[in-house]
Amino acid sequence: MSSKKFFWTDGLESILRRCYRTARNRNELIQNLTNLQRVTGFPRFAITSRASALGIARIKKQSWTYTELSRLRELAGTCGRTVLAQRLGRSEYSVKAALKRLALSARVTEGYSRSDLVELLGASAVSVRRWEQMRWLVFGPYGRASEACVRRFLRMHPDQYQLSFVNDAWFKGLMFESYNSLHPGQHERNSSSFSIQASWPNSSDASRRHKTIVLTKNIGSDAGQAERGAQ
């Protein structure tokens, strides 16, 4: 079936040209043509055939601006190529080419993978899977749990892990903002006292009682103390 069977006015051809001219990438072009198809009632092949006849079937590649490249560098590693393309208004192919040209990776590094938590918490892979099944840990589409999710787990379920097995610097940095603000070496020179609110299950009933875990480390002494305050 030929597109000649469909009546193209000067106005429709002008709209068709605008669809190609304003599209910054393939996704936008597809959306523009879909809108035109909805308005005219023409099938897609009739629209693309007319575009070919008018010599506008190919869209011109749009160069990356400095701002776009800076934004790409900032976002790379926080989300996949599909999301990057959506946020930057580019096609996935364009994003892939730009990442390769800049020697960047779209591999998501934000948050923690299951294997990361096994190593950082000193726990088994079986335990991490169980926490996930209990919905205590929630892993996103890229298989990573956010810092907020991990922090909530550590606060709400202290009976599920042993502090002696946990990576000390990572734990303090995640749970205590003041720890991250110290200058290098200050962690060792100063005595450190931190407290967190934890929810401990009461075996006698279904309620929970809150205790404050105070971690105290005195540099120069042979051992640290862990004090738990009562209700």
For residue range 98-110, list pLDDT tens digits in order: 888 888 766 666 7
Range of the domain at 38: 3-53
Total domains present in the chain: 3
Which residue matches tokens 């790409």? 72
According to the model, what pLDDT value does residue 108 have?
Answer: 60
Q: Decide if pLDDT at 204 tops 60.
A: no
Last residue of a domain, one of 42, 74, 101: 101
Please indicate, yes or no, if residue 107 is contained in any of the structural domains.
no
Residues 138, 163 share a domain: yes
Please indicate, yes or no, if residue 109 is contained in any of the structural domains.
no
Residues 126, 215 share a domain: yes
Q: What is the mean pLDDT of the chain?
A: 75
Residues 144, 88 share a domain: no
Residues 218, 193 share a domain: yes
Question: In this predicted model, which residue has the larger pLDDT, 144 or 213?
Answer: 144
- CA distances to 1, 6, 41, 47, 50 from 9, in Å: 19, 10, 14, 13, 12
pLDDT band at 190 (very low <50, low <70, confident <90, very high): very low
Please indicate, yes or no, if residue 125 is contained in any of the structural domains.
yes
Please indicate, yes or no, if residue 211 is contained in any of the structural domains.
yes
pLDDT band at 193 (very low <50, low <70, confident <90, very high): very low
| Closest among 5, 81, 82, 76 to 43, alpha carbons compared | 5
Please indicate, yes or no, if residue 58 is contained in any of the structural domains.
no
| Helix/strand/coil for 121 | helix
Q: What is the pLDDT of residues 122-137, one digit of tens each?
A: 999 999 999 999 999 9
Residues 85, 27 share a domain: no
Residues 123, 153 share a domain: yes
Residue 8 one-letter amino acid: W
What number is the average pLDDT over the span 1-17?
78
Please indicate, yes or no, if residue 34 is contained in any of the structural domains.
yes
What number is the average pLDDT over the span 2-28?
81
